[in-house]
Structure 1
Amino acid sequence: MRAFYIIISGLVVMGLAFWAYNENYRTQQVLREVSSLQRQIGHQREELAVLKAEWAYLNRPERLRDLASINFDRLGLLPFMPEQFGRVDQVSFPQDNDVLGEIEGIYDVVGRVEDAE
């Protein structure tokens, strides 16, 4: 009987060793993937920083002003003037009754819904 317990104990130890071995390699693989993803994130952040710097460089007001003056005859762009801005009370919003009246006049309800059995 004692030999049986020793054999079973040995098989359990070998099974646990095999499981630990597999878990160790899975963990190392996941750590390599995480490291690779972190490197990719770092590269993407560097690219984003470069793109933001390029956008800031291209969006400089003096550069845009020069481009607008160079292409004035084709684009006709002018700087904003204070007279171009208005107040909210100067905007003519459509009346709700007018819109609803137009919709109701177009669509008439005809017939009735029957219970489907």
Structure 2
Amino acid sequence: SGRGALSRRSGSGDDAPVVAMCPAGTVLTGCTCFSPHGRHCDGARTHDDQCVAYNAAGGWGVYAQAQCVSMPGQTACPEGWAFNDGDVPPCAVGDWCQQAAAAASIDACARRCNGNPACLSFSWDV
């Protein structure tokens, strides 16, 4: 099931960052920036298991919105996905993937990425 997490408000400086994190037992699947004052977002990105949003110059502060999915007891995966059994070696530096040590603690489906079957990614659209 899906749920979200909203950060506190960022500072008002140019590119002031703010972080939203998913609750325990969920996986980060998306990240957006929200500004209640119009177009004051200067982007958002995922970094590890965090959603980071940035305030634009002249903005009054923005919020990071993390999209999170709970997958308890996942035993089957959709086509194109592989179940992470924790037996995958670490990814090469520079790959857009999670390290196996981090991935092994997450009971979730993971897309294999960069054509490298040793890599598991937890940044997918649901």
Q: Which is greater in Rg?
A: 1
User: Could you say which structure has the higher helix fraction?
Assistant: 1
What is the TM-score with the length of structure 2 in the denominator? 0.19
What is the TM-score with the length of structure 1 in the denominator? 0.20
Larger relative contact order, structure 1 or 2 (CA cutoff 8 Å, min sep 6) = 2
User: Could you say which structure has the higher strand fraction?
Assistant: 2
